[in-house]
Amino acid sequence: MARKIQKINNSFSTNEILTAITILSVLKDCNSLEITKVLLIEPLCSYKKLLKKLTNARIQIRSIEELIIKSDFILSNFNKKYKECIIISLNSIYLLLQLKLVNIRDNKIFYNGYTFDFKEKTLGEKAKIRINASSKLSNILKCTQSAELYLHLRVEL
Protein backbone atom coordinates (compact mmCIF):
# COMPACT_ATOMS: atom_id res chain seq x y z
CA MET A 1 0.00 0.00 0.00
CA ALA A 2 2.89 2.37 0.73
CA ARG A 3 3.98 1.89 -2.91
CA LYS A 4 0.56 3.04 -4.11
CA ILE A 5 0.96 6.20 -2.04
CA GLN A 6 4.42 6.80 -3.50
CA LYS A 7 2.98 6.55 -7.03
CA ILE A 8 0.25 9.05 -6.22
CA ASN A 9 2.82 11.37 -4.61
CA ASN A 10 3.21 13.24 -7.91
CA SER A 11 -0.34 14.64 -7.75
CA PHE A 12 -0.68 15.14 -4.01
CA SER A 13 1.61 17.02 -1.62
CA THR A 14 3.33 15.50 1.39
CA ASN A 15 0.85 17.34 3.66
CA GLU A 16 -2.11 15.64 2.03
CA ILE A 17 -0.50 12.22 2.30
CA LEU A 18 0.38 12.81 5.96
CA THR A 19 -3.18 14.01 6.62
CA ALA A 20 -4.59 10.97 4.81
CA ILE A 21 -2.49 8.62 6.95
CA THR A 22 -3.66 10.46 10.09
CA ILE A 23 -7.33 10.29 9.07
CA LEU A 24 -6.99 6.60 8.21
CA SER A 25 -5.33 5.89 11.55
CA VAL A 26 -8.10 7.63 13.49
CA LEU A 27 -10.75 5.79 11.47
CA LYS A 28 -9.01 2.48 12.18
CA ASP A 29 -9.63 3.03 15.88
CA CYS A 30 -13.32 3.96 15.57
CA ASN A 31 -14.36 2.34 12.26
CA SER A 32 -16.43 5.35 11.13
CA LEU A 33 -16.82 9.05 11.79
CA GLU A 34 -19.04 11.85 10.55
CA ILE A 35 -17.38 13.94 7.86
CA THR A 36 -17.63 17.00 10.12
CA LYS A 37 -15.51 15.23 12.74
CA VAL A 38 -12.95 14.01 10.19
CA LEU A 39 -12.44 17.63 9.11
CA LEU A 40 -11.25 18.42 12.66
CA ILE A 41 -8.42 15.85 12.62
CA GLU A 42 -5.79 17.80 10.66
CA PRO A 43 -6.27 21.15 12.44
CA LEU A 44 -6.00 19.37 15.80
CA CYS A 45 -2.87 17.48 14.71
CA SER A 46 -1.27 20.68 13.45
CA TYR A 47 -0.53 21.67 17.07
CA LYS A 48 2.79 20.08 18.07
CA LYS A 49 2.05 20.50 21.78
CA LEU A 50 -1.30 18.79 21.37
CA LEU A 51 0.31 15.84 19.57
CA LYS A 52 2.79 15.58 22.43
CA LYS A 53 -0.08 15.36 24.93
CA LEU A 54 -1.92 12.78 22.85
CA THR A 55 1.16 10.56 22.54
CA ASN A 56 2.04 10.75 26.24
CA ALA A 57 0.97 7.44 27.80
CA ARG A 58 0.75 9.00 31.28
CA ILE A 59 -1.87 11.55 30.24
CA GLN A 60 -5.46 10.32 30.01
CA ILE A 61 -7.81 12.43 27.88
CA ARG A 62 -11.41 11.33 27.48
CA SER A 63 -13.20 14.39 26.07
CA ILE A 64 -12.68 17.67 24.28
CA GLU A 65 -13.33 19.54 27.55
CA GLU A 66 -10.63 17.54 29.32
CA LEU A 67 -8.24 18.17 26.44
CA ILE A 68 -8.82 21.93 26.63
CA ILE A 69 -8.46 21.94 30.42
CA LYS A 70 -5.26 19.83 30.43
CA SER A 71 -3.66 21.81 27.63
CA ASP A 72 -1.04 24.29 28.71
CA PHE A 73 -1.53 26.21 25.47
CA ILE A 74 -4.48 28.06 24.02
CA LEU A 75 -6.51 26.82 21.06
CA SER A 76 -7.72 30.37 20.40
CA ASN A 77 -6.58 30.35 16.79
CA PHE A 78 -8.24 27.01 16.04
CA ASN A 79 -10.82 28.57 13.70
CA LYS A 80 -7.98 29.94 11.55
CA LYS A 81 -6.22 26.55 11.53
CA TYR A 82 -9.49 24.84 10.62
CA LYS A 83 -9.96 27.10 7.60
CA GLU A 84 -6.32 26.67 6.54
CA CYS A 85 -6.60 22.86 6.74
CA ILE A 86 -9.99 22.26 5.14
CA ILE A 87 -8.68 21.94 1.55
CA ILE A 88 -5.88 19.59 2.64
CA SER A 89 -8.41 17.52 4.61
CA LEU A 90 -10.82 17.27 1.68
CA ASN A 91 -8.02 16.35 -0.73
CA SER A 92 -6.83 13.69 1.73
CA ILE A 93 -10.30 12.20 1.97
CA TYR A 94 -10.43 12.14 -1.85
CA LEU A 95 -7.03 10.39 -1.90
CA LEU A 96 -8.27 7.76 0.55
CA LEU A 97 -11.41 7.25 -1.57
CA GLN A 98 -9.30 6.79 -4.72
CA LEU A 99 -7.13 4.23 -2.93
CA LYS A 100 -10.32 2.51 -1.72
CA LEU A 101 -9.16 2.79 1.89
CA VAL A 102 -12.40 4.52 2.97
CA ASN A 103 -16.05 4.62 1.90
CA ILE A 104 -18.56 7.43 2.35
CA ARG A 105 -22.20 6.70 3.16
CA ASP A 106 -24.86 8.76 4.90
CA ASN A 107 -22.51 11.63 5.80
CA LYS A 108 -20.02 9.23 7.43
CA ILE A 109 -16.60 8.03 6.40
CA PHE A 110 -16.03 4.31 6.97
CA TYR A 111 -12.65 2.61 7.42
CA ASN A 112 -11.72 0.16 4.69
CA GLY A 113 -7.93 0.21 5.05
CA TYR A 114 -7.40 -3.29 6.34
CA THR A 115 -4.50 -3.78 3.92
CA PHE A 116 -2.71 -0.58 4.96
CA ASP A 117 0.47 -1.18 7.00
CA PHE A 118 0.74 1.50 9.69
CA LYS A 119 4.14 0.09 10.72
CA GLU A 120 5.70 0.64 7.28
CA LYS A 121 9.12 2.25 7.86
CA THR A 122 8.83 4.58 4.84
CA LEU A 123 5.88 6.44 6.37
CA GLY A 124 8.28 8.66 8.32
CA GLU A 125 8.58 10.02 11.83
CA LYS A 126 5.77 12.59 11.56
CA ALA A 127 3.34 9.89 10.48
CA LYS A 128 4.43 7.63 13.35
CA ILE A 129 3.78 10.39 15.88
CA ARG A 130 0.31 11.00 14.44
CA ILE A 131 -0.46 7.28 14.33
CA ASN A 132 0.48 7.04 18.03
CA ALA A 133 -1.82 9.98 18.83
CA SER A 134 -4.74 8.61 16.82
CA SER A 135 -6.16 6.35 19.54
CA LYS A 136 -6.75 9.17 22.01
CA LEU A 137 -7.91 11.50 19.27
CA SER A 138 -10.45 8.95 18.02
CA ASN A 139 -11.79 8.55 21.58
CA ILE A 140 -12.28 12.32 21.85
CA LEU A 141 -14.02 12.53 18.48
CA LYS A 142 -16.33 9.55 18.87
CA CYS A 143 -17.55 10.40 22.38
CA THR A 144 -18.61 13.96 21.54
CA GLN A 145 -21.29 15.29 19.21
CA SER A 146 -20.04 17.29 16.21
CA ALA A 147 -21.88 20.44 17.25
CA GLU A 148 -20.31 20.28 20.70
CA LEU A 149 -16.81 19.80 19.23
CA TYR A 150 -17.23 22.78 16.92
CA LEU A 151 -18.60 24.88 19.79
CA HIS A 152 -15.75 24.06 22.20
CA LEU A 153 -13.13 24.62 19.48
CA ARG A 154 -14.88 27.86 18.46
CA VAL A 155 -15.12 27.03 14.77
CA GLU A 156 -17.09 29.62 12.83
CA LEU A 157 -18.99 28.22 9.87
| pTM of the shown model | 0.88
> How far apart (Å, rounded) are the C-alpha atoms in residues 133 and 142?
15
Nearest-10 Cα torsion for 121, 21, 11, 37 = -170
CB atoms within 10 A of CB 12: 18
Domain residue extents for the chain: 2-152
Q: What is the pLDDT along the chain (157 residues), one digit of tens a residue?
A: 555 555 544 444 568 999 999 999 999 999 999 999 999 999 999 988 888 889 988 888 888 888 888 776 667 788 999 999 999 999 999 999 999 999 999 999 999 989 899 998 888 899 999 999 999 999 999 989 999 999 989 898 8
Return all residues near 62 (Cβ < 8 A) that are at least 6 apart.
139, 140, 143
